[in-house]
Amino acid sequence: MSTSSLLTPVRLGALQLKNRVVMAPLTRLRAAQPGDVPKPMHAVYYGQRANPGGLLITEATDIAESARGYPGAPGMYSAPQVAAWKRVTEAVHAKGGLIVVQLWHTGRISHSSMHAGGALPVAPSAIAARGQHMTAQGKPVSFEVPRALSLEEIPTIVAQYTQAIKNAREAGFDGVELHAANGYLINQFMEDGTNQRTDRYGGSIENRVRLLLEIIDSAAAAWSADRIGVRLSPGGSFNDMKDSNHEALYDYVVTHLSTRGLAYLHVIEQRESPDTPAGTATSDVAAKIRAEFAGPVIAAGGFDQVSATAAIDAKHADAVAFGRAYIANPDLVERFRVGAALNPYDRRTFYGGDERGYTDYPTLEASASTT
């Protein structure tokens, strides 16, 4: 099977890509504390992984201080954060790359120690996730019962997303991705396992999807719909998510997103666990959504070069996002191009820490110079 299709051009809304290899949003938890400000090594990290005409999606980035859920995750709500992100986008653009920022509000996947005055995390309904999370100090702790957002507070959430999008534009990003997947706030509103509201944001599928559509419409007015992507995880159970009829839910979501002129949908394929070896991915979820969505689809979740190429050749996806492979191989696209072996990744350095396991993975060129 030829791998050439993975390295052919594709257009995602306003973004013209020279290849279909996308860097997935990868939480790394290395922002400066306090303040959640990207460090100089963030510019090095993203700059290393930039390639001419290729697309990088940043790690999930908080839209507001009240959106925080993980110690060390960066933000997009303060002047120092915007200035730091500008250095990141400049590093990527200097190599001819494109970069969008993934924006999130973690909702109930948080802890009171991360919020002013020890305030509880917020959610559509006061339903705790099962399992454990972490405090602001990184200590394991059971999830708290979140506080249900009042109807009057929801416009503030929309406004926070809109301001973060304006900040991203100021920081020089080429677009934004809204994180509506993996059990965070937008996803919590969408699914009935976490949303038991009885007002206009709860009950019917139409009501539960209302927040997502309001955020998208406000974002499009603040910038441009063709620079906005949305990440979805249909049928996913991560962060204790469930819905009584996820097929009907996501059919509705895709139908209504098709009318918005978005840059892309980014779809997570379900895996047995995060440790599932690369190359075992199917593209079944992406294929279904691509058949329904009036726009490009990025598939993600356990792909390698061969399975990604197969997904594109089968027209199940227009591009494929790589995570662990991109962490360990800053020159991933070049390795795919020449058929080179990949560096192994070190899971111990995925979250938190310093440059080790972050900016010290060797490129092919660097490896050749030391042999």
> Concatenated DSSP letters for 323-335?
SHHHHH-TTHHHH
| Catalytic residue (one of 184, 250, 358, 361) | 184
pLDDT score for 2:
41
Q: What pLDDT shows up at residue 280? A: 63
Alpha-carbon dihedral angle through residues 285, 24, 312, 364, given to the nearest 10 degrees: -150
Per-residue pLDDT, 323: 97
Which residues are within 8 A (CB) of 342 and not within 5 positions of it... i.e. 6 or more apart?
325, 328, 329, 332, 335
Indicate the helix (H) or strand (E) that contains 53: none
HSE-CB for 60 with a 13 A CA cutoff: 20
The residue written with tokens 């677009």 in the block is 175
pLDDT tens for 68-87 read: 999 999 999 999 999 999 99
Token representation of residue 368: 């050749």
Backbone angles phi, psi at 303, to 5 degrees: -85, 150
Burial level of 9, CB count in 10 A (0-12/13-18/19+)? exposed
Confidence (pLDDT) at 366: 80
Exposed, middle or buried by CB within 10 Å (0-12, 13-18, 19+), for 152?
exposed
Q: What residues of the chain score a pLDDT lower than 70?
A: 1-3, 271-281, 369-371
Residues 6+ apart with CB under 8 A from 169: 222, 223
The parent domain of residue 195 ranges over: 4-369
Are the C-beta atoms of residues 33 and 19 closer than 8 Å to each other? Answer: no
Q: Which pLDDT score, from 0 to 100, does residue 371 have?
A: 56
Check residue 4 and give its pLDDT.
80
In CATH, what number is assigned to the domain containing residue 156? Answer: 3.20.20.70
pTM of the prediction? 0.96
Number of Cα atoms under 13 Å in the Cβ half of residue 365: 5
User: What pLDDT does 267 receive?
Assistant: 98
Q: 68 and 76 in contact (C-beta within 8 Å)?
A: no
Alpha carbon separation from 244 to 167, 191, 192, 206 (Å, rounded): 37, 8, 7, 15
Q: Report how many domains make up the chain.
A: 1
Distance of alpha carbon 101 from alpha carbon 116, whole angstroms = 25
Q: Quote the Cα angle for 71-76-79, to 5°.
A: 110
Instruction: State how far the Cα of 371 lies from the Cα of 369, in Å rounded to an integer.
Output: 6
C-alpha distance from residue 260 to each of 25, 66, 105 (Å): 23, 28, 22
Active site residue 184: yes
Quote the pLDDT of residue 277. 64
Point out which residues pair with 179 in neighbouring strands.
231
